[in-house]
């Protein structure tokens, strides 16, 4: 590996010792860039990697709100404006008790290269709070969102930074935040937030985009192997918005999700989650706030495996595994089970769902095809950028128009990843290919813009 990368990684470890998730993603991305760095000595002269791993700006703030008992509650808010070389900062807000600076920096770093892969004019950012939306009343969520935006509004704007949702932050939260933003700036500036309701400047298909786009990417992977999604059986983790999109699009294209997990275990439904009733029930389970996937097994009378993940299922039951929950869902133990199961396709969907050792191990399995989340899940942010475009021209596009663009963007991400890996002699390596394709776009823009 390039000495330059080694040196930058070592400095990064020293400077950010308490940030394991952030170090994990920096290591994963930088180690895959060796052939590009070797081919471009000018990057080292320009200290490009040192600049890329340092966020342009980190904003941390107090969020004080009143709960239903009239008590003051204090949370910590973040916005990391990571890299604006390609356009206004863009990326979601995560509301979850696990949120800390390491998690927001890891998500922000990933977002820079994901956003670059979409080919759209957006930089990368991420934000959020350690606020836990579970068990909160609607009024409490609204007051939290208003308090969060009361600080954040001065840092964002349609040409500056456009946040959207992530875990724990969906249409309802974006609506409350947009309302507060509009009151504070005194203008209808739709492009300052994406993931809005279609009635107030949102793009049709934004809610479906991440899950649908992941399946469009999967279709390209299968095509490369001379296969189609018809009849394929999927195991996924998670049952949030992204999982729901994967389930729906897979069913529409003739495949079926047969296993799905939550914090309590996983369900196995050999008939698949394919009917409208079952697919809608996934949404209801999420909205209930119970966080229990067992409810599905109880309702539809299928197997439930308490305390287990679906990664141990064999190739007699599953063809494709797609982690759709959260980071580090698949560790070395799970990866060994996945490799031993005989399944061929491991398609990451959630941001960084695989630990670095597990990812390396899976990449080493010659019978498997591995696809990385920053390419697979990029359609969510891509449709957010399309929402910004619609807002800028004060028009709404039809579902067909948006879907056509989604298809084209995902095909282009897949193709450019394949091309980049081949160009640097790496063969069919979708993981390194995506990192290189994203990196190259950001690197070109940064080099062109001079020192900053």
Q: Catalytic residue positions?
A: 126
Residues 6+ apart with CB under 8 A from 256: 232, 233, 234, 250, 271, 272, 273, 274
Dihedrals φ, ψ of 385, to 5°? Answer: -65, -35
* Residue 276: both structure tokens together: 């409208």
Nearest approach, Cβ of 351 to ligand 2IT (angstroms)?
5
As a whole number of angstroms, the distance between CA 413 and CA 40 comes to 23
Nearest approach, Cβ of 430 to ligand 2IT (angstroms)?
18
Q: Judged by CB under 6 A, which of 90, 232, 249, 256 binds ligand 2IT?
A: 90
DSSP three-state, residue 258: strand
As a whole number of angstroms, the distance between CA 85 and CA 444 comes to 9
Q: Judged by CB under 6 A, which of 75, 384, 390, 440 binds ligand 2IT?
A: 384
Compare residues 91 and 175 and give the one whose CB is closer to ligand 2IT. 91
Query: Within 10 Å of residue 246's Cβ, how many Cβ atoms?
Result: 29
Nearest approach, Cβ of 381 to ligand 2IT (angstroms)?
4
Nearest approach, Cβ of 114 to ligand 2IT (angstroms)?
6
Site string for ligand 2IT, 303-342 (x = CB under 6 A): ----------------------------------------
Q: What element of type H or E holds 284?
A: helix 276-288
Site string for ligand 2IT, 344-373 (x = CB under 6 A): -------x----------------------
Could you say whether residue 91 binds ligand 2IT (CB under 6 A)? yes
Nearest approach, Cβ of 380 to ligand 2IT (angstroms)?
4
DSSP three-state, residue 205: coil
Which region, judged by CB under 6 A, interacts with ligand 2IT, from 70-78, 88-96, 256-264, 410-418? 88-96
Could you say whether residue 120 binds ligand 2IT (CB under 6 A)? no
Query: Within 10 Å of residue 352's Cβ, how many Cβ atoms?
Result: 25
Which region, judged by CB under 6 A, interacts with ligand 2IT, from 3-11, 22-30, 90-98, 400-408? 90-98
DSSP state of 315: T
DSSP state string for 150-176:
HHHGGG-BTTTEEEEEBTTB-HHHHHH
DSSP state of 235: E
Site string for ligand 2IT, 134-173 (x = CB under 6 A): ------------------------------x-x-------
Q: In sequence order, what E strands does 339-427 have?
A: 345-347, 369-371
Q: Looking only at residues 184 through 203 of this chain, which bind ligand 2IT when binding is defined by CB under 6 A?
A: 194
Compare residues 164 and 259 and give the one whose CB is closer to ligand 2IT. 164
* Residue 58: both structure tokens together: 């980190």
Compare residues 180 and 326 and give the one whose CB is closer to ligand 2IT. 326
* Residue 233: both structure tokens together: 């059986």
Considering CB under 6 A, how many residues would be counted as binding ligand 2IT? 11
As a whole number of angstroms, the distance between CA 170 and CA 196 comes to 9
DSSP three-state, residue 76: strand
* Residue 228: both structure tokens together: 């189609």
DSSP three-state, residue 349: coil
Could you say whether residue 88 binds ligand 2IT (CB under 6 A)? no
Q: Judged by CB under 6 A, which of 35, 77, 88, 92 binds ligand 2IT?
A: 92
For binding to ligand 2IT (CB under 6 A), which residues are involved? Answer: 90-92, 114, 164, 166, 194, 351, 380-381, 384
């Amino acid at each position: 590996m390039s000495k330059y990368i080694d040196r930058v990684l070592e400095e990064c470890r020293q400077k950010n010792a308490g940030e394991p998730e952030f170090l994990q993603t920096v290591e994963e991305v930088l180690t895959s860039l060796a052939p590009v760095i070797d081919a471009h000595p000018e990057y080292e002269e320009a200290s490009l990697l040192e600049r890329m791993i340092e966020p342009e700006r980190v904003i941390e703030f107090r969020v004080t709100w009143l709960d239903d008992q009239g008590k003051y509650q204090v949370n910590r808010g973040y916005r990391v404006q990571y890299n604006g070389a390609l356009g206004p900062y863009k990326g979601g807000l995560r509301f979850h008790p696990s949120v800390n600076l390491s998690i927001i920096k890891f998500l922000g770093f990933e977002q820079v290269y994901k956003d670059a892969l979409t080919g759209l004019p957006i930089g990368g950012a991420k934000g959020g709070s350690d606020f836990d939306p579970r068990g909160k009343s609607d009024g409490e969520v609204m007051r939290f969102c208003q308090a969060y935006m009361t600080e954040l509004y001065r840092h964002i704007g349609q040409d500056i930074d456009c946040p959207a949702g992530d875990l724990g932050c969906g249409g309802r939260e974006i609506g409350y935040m947009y309302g507060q933003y509009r009151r504070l700036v005194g203008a209808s500036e739709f492009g300052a937030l994406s993931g809005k309701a279609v009635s107030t400047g949102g793009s049709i298909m934004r809610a479906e985009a991440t899950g649908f786009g992941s399946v469009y990417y999967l279709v390209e992977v299968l095509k490369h192997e001379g296969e189609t999604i018809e009849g394929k059986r999927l195991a996924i983790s998670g049952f949030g918005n992204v999982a729901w999109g994967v389930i729906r699009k897979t069913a529409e294209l003739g495949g079926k999700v047969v296993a799905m997990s939550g914090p309590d275990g996983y369900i196995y439904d050999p008939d698949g989650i394919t009917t409208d009733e079952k697919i809608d029930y996934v949404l209801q389970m999420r909205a209930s706030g119970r966080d229990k996937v067992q409810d599905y097994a109880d309702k539809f009378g299928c197997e439930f495996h308490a305390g287990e993940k679906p990664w141990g299922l064999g190739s007699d039951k599953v063809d494709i595994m797609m982690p759709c929950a959260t980071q580090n869902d698949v560790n070395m133990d799970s990866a060994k089970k996945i490799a031993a199961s005989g399944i061929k396709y491991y398609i990451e969907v959630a941001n960084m769902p695989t630990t670095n050792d597990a990812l390396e191990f899976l990449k080493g399995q010659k019978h498997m095809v591995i696809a990385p989340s920053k390419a697979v899940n990029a359609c969510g942010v891509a449709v957010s950028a399309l929402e910004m475009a619609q807002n800028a021209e004060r028009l709404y596009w039809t579902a067909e128009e948006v879907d056509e663009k989604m298809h084209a963007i995902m095909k282009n991400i897949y193709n450019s990843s394949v091309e980049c890996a081949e160009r640097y002699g790496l063969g069919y390596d979708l993981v390194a290919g995506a990192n290189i394709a994203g990196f190259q776009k950001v690197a070109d823009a940064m080099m062109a813009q001079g020192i900053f």
